[in-house]
Amino acid sequence: MPETPTSRSRGQRAPGSAVSRQKSPRPGVQRSSSVNSLEKNERPRSKQRHRNVKTKPDVGELSEAEDNKESDSSDPEEKLCTCLEALLTECSRQRLRALRMSLRHYSNVDNRVSFKDIQTSLQENQVRLSQRALTMISEIFEDGQGIDYEKLYACLTKAHLRTGRDSIKARNKRNDLNAKQALTLEQIDQDFLRRLEELLVKDQAYFDVPLLRNEFSKWDQHRVGQMAKEGAQLICSERTSLYGALLTNLINRCDENKDGKISWPLLLNFLEKAQAKAWEKHPELATLPEKVKEAAALRIATPGPIDELSSSTRSKVMTKLLKKTSFRRNSSTDNNTPERQKPKEDPAGDTLPETGVKVDNPAPDVKRANPLAKDKNTRTKDPDGKQTSEMKSEPRGQDKKESIPEGKDDVLDSKVSRIPSHEVKAVVPNEYKSAQVTSDPPSERLQLEWIYGYRGHDTKFNLCLLASGEIIYFIGTAIILYNHLDHVQRHYREHTECVRCISVHPAGMLVASGQYASRDEKGHQAHFRLWRSDTLQTLHVLGAGLMVKCVMALCFMPGEKITHLKCGRLTSASIKTKWRPDDPTVTNQSEWQTSERQKTFLASIKRRFTSNCCDELKIEIDILACADNSQEKKLTLWDVKEGSLVAETFISTELLCDMGFNPKYPELLVTCGKEHLSWWKVYVEARRVQPSAQPNYEGFLKARYINCLSHNQKGDVITGDSNGTIYIWGNGGNSITNFVKHGHDGSVLSVLQYRGHLLTAGRDGAFHCWSWRKNMDKEGTLQLPKSEGGARCLLLLPSDDGATSTLVLGTTMNSLIYVNLNQSAPPLEGVTLDDVPITQGHTGDLRAVQKIEQSFLGADIITASTDGVICKLNSETREPVWKLCMKGYPFLCVDINKEGDLLVLGTKDGHLVILQVMRTDISVLEIYNKKISTGAITTAKLSQDQKKIATGGTDKTVHIYSLQSVEGKDEEVWALSGKCQGHHGNIHAIDWSSNTLQGDLIIRSSSSIPEQKFWNVNTCTEVPGEFMTDVTWATTNCVLDHTLIGLWKSKQASEGHMTCVDVSPARHLAAMATSDGSLSLFRYPSCSEGAFSHTYKAHHHTHNLCFTPNGRSVLTVGGSDDCIMQWKLV
C-alpha cells in the first residue's frame, strides 16, 4: 500500500521567495550526497520565459512525442489525464487531498500558484510526476497570474478515478459488510520489512539503531519496554527517514495491546531486520555509517569562527557569553521553575538513582511503594560479612493485618516494618557474584497464540458462524475466531470486562458483542461493540451509560434491500427492485414482484424519497436488538450503519433467556424468559417497537422458564422450556401447532431445525433428533459423557460442497465437540462424538497450571480448578488430551512427576489429594486423600526423586510428606514426616533444591508478607540464608531471589501484586505475572535495577503461569475467567 504523508506545519514565507524543503542530514539517518530529490537540470522551463523557444525533448520522450502527433487535435486536458493515469497508480486519494491543502497554502487570492510552488508541494507530499506531465500542466493551466491549482486538482482527481483506487466513501458505498482478505501477522510483518528495505535502498540511508535505542530508553522511564506513540513517532521522524503511512502503520503495529503505548524493542527489531536485508542485497549501503563518521570527524577538525580570533578577543567573547548564561539561569530561578534534583552520589563516586519511595511524601500515581527502591548497586554486606541483595516491599490487601514481631528475625528491619514495610535480604549465589548481566529487554517477545476454553456454563449467545467459515465464540474478555480447517485462532480483545453475548450479521462479516459492567472500575461500563471480523476493527461502541449490569442478548434484524432506483418520479411503477436468490421468503422472482410484502415495503420507501433525479441508490436497513440486565430488562433497537438509537422499551421479565427476529417476517421479534414469551413488532420508519402478541397456550402446559427459541425459514417459532417440552408456534403466530411433550429429562437448552428434522439438546446431556412431521417421532439420540454436562448450543457447519455434514456442540462444561451427521439417514443414526474436542476448559476458579516433562499420554500441560476438573493439554498441537472430573474437590494447586502418572493436588478446604494414573487403561487410582490443613492449600511441590511432597497455604505452615515403609508389608504409603513453622504470611510458592546441603535436601518457601525461608527437609528446621550460596534449585517459583531483583524493581511489580514467576527451561528468560493482569517477559537472570521487559495484558487477574517443557510457549491462567492463554515466543 502506498504511504500517506503526515501533515507538516509550514511557516510563513516572503512573497516571491522560493522555499526549500530538502531535509538536512540527521544523526539517526544519513543520506548520500550523490542523491538529490530534484536535480536542477530536470526542472521544466516556464511558458512565460520561453514562450517561443522549442526545447529539445529528452531521449526518453521522443517516442512519446511521436505517438502523440496524431492526437494533437484532441483535448489537452484529456491527454494530460491519460498521461497522469499511469503516474498516479501508486498514489492514494488521501495523498492527493494533502497535495491540495499544500497548494492552497501557497496560493494567492486568485487561487493561483507559481510553478516552483507546485514543485515544492509535489516534493513534500511524495507525488512523483514525469517531466512531460509537468510541462503539460504548465502549458494548460498557467495564465498571466499563475497556475490555477483548483483546475489542476480536478484534473488529478479525474485521472486518479481511472486507476480504480478511489476510496469507499467517494463511491458512496459501505465497507462494513464486505469481507476483506485476512492477513496473518507474519504476512503483515513481512510487508513492513519489504517496505522498510525499499525505503533504505531508495533514499540511500541507514538506521542508527544504537542511537535510537538510547533515545527510546530515555523515554522509557519505567523500564517496561514501552513508550507513548507520540514520543516514538517524534523520535522516528527526527532520527530516521520514516514518514507518512509507513511510519504510522509501523507504530500501530508495535502497539500490541492497543493502549496507546508501543513496544520499542519490537520497533527496533523491525528496523534491524530490514537494514540487515538491505545490506545483504546492497553491500554498498553497509559503508554509509563509516562515511558519516568520517564526515563528522572532518567537520570537527575544521576550525570554527571563534577559533580564528585572537586570544584576548576570544576571552572577551567568552566572558560575555558566560554572563548571559548566568543571567538566564538566575531569571529562571526567580520564576520559581522547579528543577529536577541531581542524583545523589555515594562516597565511592558512583551515581545513585533517585529513590522511588518516600514515606513522608509518596508519589500520587503509584499504588504502593516500590519494593526495591534502594541503591543501584543492590549488593550489601550483612553483619556476618556475607554479600546480600536488599529488597524493600510493603504488604497489601489482606496481608496488612499480619504483624511482624520485632527482633525475632535479623533479616527483617524493624524500623522499616513500622511504615509498614520491611526489607528482605536475598543472598547472592556464588555463580552470580561476578556475572555481568545486561538490562536490555530480551530479543524474544510473546504473542497470543491460543486460548483454551469456551463459556457455555452460564451463557446462551455464545456460538456463531462467520461468512469466512470461522467459528466464533468467547471466554473471559476475549472473543475467539477459530478456523477449523487450518486449526488456527484469531482473537478480538477490545472488551474491558467479560463478554456476555455475541451475534453475527446476516451477511456473516459484522459482529456485535456485549459485555458486563465492572464492579471495581467505574469506566468499564456495560456496552456492546460493533466490529469487523476480517480486520478486527471496531466500528462502534454503543450503549455505555444506557445498559445496566450487562448486555444480556443481541440479535440482528434480517434487512430488506433496495438495489436500484431509476430516474423519474417515484411511483410504484417506476421503482424497480432486484430479487435476491437467497431471499428465504419467496421461491422465485415473479413471486417477489407480485407479493404484497414488496408493495408495502416500496410504499414506505416512496414516502421517504421524493427526489426526481436518482441514478442509482442502495439502501440497507440494518437493525440490531439489544437487551440489558436491568430490573425491567430494557430492550433497545440500534441503527448499525449510523450507530444511533432507534427505539427502546421494557420487556418486564425477571430473567431474559433468548430472543430472535423472524426471517419470514423481519419486523417481528420474539423474546422468552422466566414466565415470559412475547411477540414484538418493530416500526423502523416510526422509530418505535411495541408488543404484538402474547402466547396462546390453550390447554397446553405452561412452563416456568422458556429457555430457548429458534426460527425456521417458514416463519415458525420453536421453543424449549424447563419442563423438557418443545412447542412449535406456526407461521409467526402465537398459537401452538405442534409439540414434543417431555422430550428431555430437564430443561431444553437448544433447538434447531435441520433438513426436515428437529434437533434438540438439554441439560440432561441428551442430543435428540425428531422428525418434522405431525407426530414428531424420535429418530435418534446421542448421549454426552457425564464429564461434559449438558448440551448448551448447536451450530451447523457447511462443508466444501455447500452441504451441511458437521455440527458443533457446545457443552455446559465449557467444551466444544464435533458431531459428524449422517447424510443418507436420520442425522443421528449411527453417529458418535468426535474423539478430540475442539477445546475444553473449566467452569470454576482456575489457578493451577503446571508443565509435564515427559508425559506418556503426549500432554505437556496440566490444569486444575475449583470445579474439580483436571485437564491435560498438548501445547504443540493445541489440543485437549485427557480430562478427569472429581466433583466436590475445589483444587487450587497441582504438581506432577516427569512421566505424568503421579498427581499431587491441594484443595481450598485443606485436603491433600494424590492420584496415580494407570498406564494400561488410563484409569485413576486415589492413593491419598486427607484433610491436612485448617486453611486452603495454595502450593504443593513434588521432590525430584518423587518420594517427598511439600505443601503450603493459608495456615502459614509447610507440611512435609514422604513415602514410608509399612511394617510387615512390602509396600510404601504417604505419611506426614514433619512441619516447618515460622512464616508470618500465607505461603504462595515452594522450590526444591536440585543438590544437597551436607547430605540433606533443602526447600525454600515464600509468603505474602513477603518473606523467604529455607528449611532442612529431614529435620524440618530453618537454615540461615548465608549457607545457601552453593545451593541450586530445581524450579524458580519463589519470587524472592537475587536473580529476580529486576522484576521486583519493575513498574509492573510496583503497580500490582506479583502473583507468580517462572523461568524458562534454558534459563535465559523469566516470566512474571501481576494481580492487575499484566504478563512481563524479562531476561534471566535479572539482578539489577532498571531491567527492561516486554509487557502484555493477559487476564483481569493473572494467578499463575508456567513455561512449556520445550520453552517455546508460556501458559497463563486467570482465575474466575476460566481462561487458559498460550503465548508463543517469537
Question: Tens of pLDDT along 607-630?
Answer: 444 333 333 334 455 899 999 998
Q: Which residues is 483 bridged to in the sheet?
A: 488
Answer yes or no: is pLDDT of 600 > 80: no
Answer yes or no: is pLDDT of 385 > 50: no
Greater confidence (290 vs 1109) lies with 1109
Answer yes or no: is pLDDT of 24 > 90: no
Answer yes or no: is pLDDT of 738 > 90: yes
Q: Which residues is 937 bridged to in the sheet?
A: 953
Q: Which residue has the cell 486453611?
A: 935
Which cell is 189 given? 510483518
Smallest CA-to-CA distance from 540 within 566, 574, 501, 514 is with 514
Q: Which of 153-162, 437-446, 909-918 has the highest mean pLDDT?
A: 909-918
Answer yes or no: is pLDDT of 348 > 50: no
Which cell is 661 given? 427476529
Task: Return the CATH superfamily for domain 458-558+630-834.
Answer: YVTN repeat-like/Quinoprotein amine dehydrogenase (2.130.10.10)
Do 1105 and 1096 form a contact (C-beta atoms < 8 A)? no
Please give the Cα distance from 233 to 230 (Å, whole number).
5
Please give the Cα distance from 96 to 447 (Å, whole number).
37
* Cα→Cα distances 605→118, 560, 609, 684, Å: 48, 11, 6, 11
Per-domain residue ranges of the chain: 185-298, 458-558+630-834, 561-620, 841-1129
Please give the Cα distance from 235 to 251 (Å, whole number).
11
Do 597 and 589 form a contact (C-beta atoms < 8 A)? no
Average of per-residue pLDDT values in the chain: 79
Please give the Cα distance from 813 to 601 (Å, whole number).
46
Give the residue-averaged pLDDT of 222-228: 81
Smallest CA-to-CA distance from 506 within 580, 472, 556, 563 is with 556
Residues, the chain: 1130
Q: Say which amino acid occupies 561.
A: K
Do 704 and 657 form a contact (C-beta atoms < 8 A)? no
* Cα→Cα distances 449→40, 185, 442, 1115, Å: 54, 11, 19, 10
pLDDT of residue 568: 34
Answer yes or no: is pLDDT of 896 > 80: yes
Q: Which residue has the cell 414469551?
A: 677
Answer yes or no: is pLDDT of 187 > 90: no
What are the phi and psi torsion angles at 1053 (to 5°)?
A: -70, -25
Flag the least confident range among 90-104, 328-342, 785-799.
Answer: 328-342
pLDDT of residue 311: 67
Answer yes or no: is pLDDT of 489 > 80: yes
Please give the Cα distance from 1064 to 1107 (Å, whole number).
6
Answer yes or no: is pLDDT of 968 > 50: yes
What are the phi and psi torsion angles at 948 (to 5°)?
A: -140, 150
Answer yes or no: is pLDDT of 424 > 70: no
pLDDT band, residue 47 (cuts 50/70/90): very low
Percent above pLDDT 70 for the chain: 74
Do 1099 and 1078 form a contact (C-beta atoms < 8 A)? no
pLDDT of residue 581: 40
Please give the Cα distance from 205 to 1126 (Å, whole number).
39
The DSSP line for 923-950 is -EEEEEEEE--SS-EEEEEE-TTSSEEE
Which cell is 1058 given? 506479583
Answer yes or no: is pLDDT of 9 > 70: no
Greater confidence (244 vs 595) lies with 244
pLDDT band, residue 393 (cuts 50/70/90): very low
What are the phi and psi torsion angles at 488 (to 5°)?
A: -130, 155
Smallest CA-to-CA distance from 253 within 239, 269, 241 is with 269
Supply angle C-alpha 12, 13, 19, rounded to 5. 120
Answer yes or no: is pLDDT of 778 > 50: yes
Please give the Cα distance from 1044 to 1012 (Å, whole number).
13
pLDDT of residue 305: 60
Does 458-558+630-834 match 185-298 at the fold level?
A: no
Please give the Cα distance from 113 to 145 (Å, whole number).
8
pLDDT band, residue 342 (cuts 50/70/90): very low
The DSSP line for 751-774 is EEEETTEEEEEETTSEEEEEESSS
Q: Which fold has domain 841-1129?
A: Methylamine Dehydrogenase; Chain H (2.130.10)
Answer yes or no: is pLDDT of 538 > 70: yes
pLDDT of residue 753: 92
pLDDT of residue 271: 93
Smallest CA-to-CA distance from 196 within 186, 210, 187, 206 is with 206
pLDDT of residue 57: 43
| Residue 45 CB coordination number (10 Å) | 12
Q: Which residues is 513 bridged to in the sheet?
A: 502, 529
Do 719 and 751 form a contact (C-beta atoms < 8 A)? yes
pLDDT band, residue 309 (cuts 50/70/90): low
What are the phi and psi torsion angles at 113 (to 5°)?
A: -130, 160
Torsion of CA 139, 142, 144, 148, to 10 degrees: 170
Give the residue-averaged pLDDT of 767-774: 93
Give the residue-averaged pLDDT of 270-274: 91
Q: Which residue has the cell 420487556?
A: 651
405-421 pLDDT per residue, tens? 333 333 333 222 222 34
Percent above pLDDT 90 for the chain: 45
pLDDT band, residue 189 (cuts 50/70/90): confident
pLDDT band, residue 907 (cuts 50/70/90): very high
Please give the Cα distance from 966 to 978 (Å, whole number).
18
Greater confidence (28 vs 134) lies with 134
pLDDT band, residue 35 (cuts 50/70/90): very low
pLDDT band, residue 175 (cuts 50/70/90): low
E-assigned strand segments in 140-287? 142-143, 146-148, 226-228, 261-263
Give the residue-averaged pLDDT of 509-536: 92
Q: Which residues is 738 bridged to in the sheet?
A: 728
pLDDT of residue 75: 83
pLDDT band, residue 323 (cuts 50/70/90): low
Give the residue-averaged pLDDT of 1045-1064: 84
Answer yes or no: is pLDDT of 758 > 80: yes
Supply angle C-alpha 727, 731, 734, rounded to 5. 55
Flag the least confident range among 9-23, 187-201, 1085-1099.
Answer: 9-23
Do 974 and 960 form a contact (C-beta atoms < 8 A)? no
Please give the Cα distance from 728 to 739 (Å, whole number).
6
pLDDT of residue 63: 41
pLDDT band, residue 261 (cuts 50/70/90): confident
- How many whole angstroms from its chain centre is CA 354? 35
> DSSP assignment, residue 497?
S
Please give the Cα distance from 720 to 728 (Å, whole number).
9
Q: Are strands 937-942 and 948-953 parallel, antiparallel or unpaired?
A: antiparallel
Q: What is the pTM of this model?
A: 0.71
Lay out the sheet containing 1058-1063: strands in order across: 1058-1063, 1069-1074, 1078-1083, 1093-1097
Flag the least confident range among 72-86, 471-485, 710-724.
Answer: 72-86
Give the residue-averaged pLDDT of 45-55: 38
pLDDT of residue 2: 42
pLDDT of residue 430: 77
pLDDT of residue 593: 46
Q: Are strands 726-729 and 736-740 parallel, antiparallel or unpaired?
A: antiparallel
SS3 874: strand
Greater confidence (411 vs 58) lies with 58
783-797 per-residue burial string, b: 16 or more CB within 10 A, e: under 16: ebeeebbbbbbbbeb
Lay out the sheet containing 644-650: strands in order across: 551-556, 623-628, 634-639, 644-650
Q: Which fold has domain 185-298?
A: Recoverin; domain 1 (1.10.238)
> Quick one: CA dihedral 259, 1098, 836, 786, positive or negative?
negative
> DSSP assignment, residue 430?
G
Q: Which residue has the cell 511482624?
A: 404
Do 858 and 922 form a contact (C-beta atoms < 8 A)? no
Burial environment of residue 486 by CB neighbours within 10 A (0 to 12, 13 to 18, 19 or more): exposed
Answer yes or no: is pLDDT of 847 > 90: yes
Please report which helix (H) or strand (E) contains residue 153, including its range.
helix 149-161
pLDDT band, residue 301 (cuts 50/70/90): low
Supply angle C-alpha 663, 666, 670, rounded to 5. 85
What are the phi and psi torsion angles at 1096 (to 5°)?
A: -135, 155
Which cell is 462 given? 455464545
SS3 901: coil
Answer yes or no: is pLDDT of 1043 > 80: yes
Please give the Cα distance from 394 to 914 (Å, whole number).
36
Q: Which residue has the cell 534471566?
A: 1084
SS3 384: coil
Do 114 and 143 form a contact (C-beta atoms < 8 A)? no
Euclidean distance between the first and the last CA atom of the chain, given in angstroms as a whole number: 25
Give the residue-averaged pLDDT of 429-452: 83
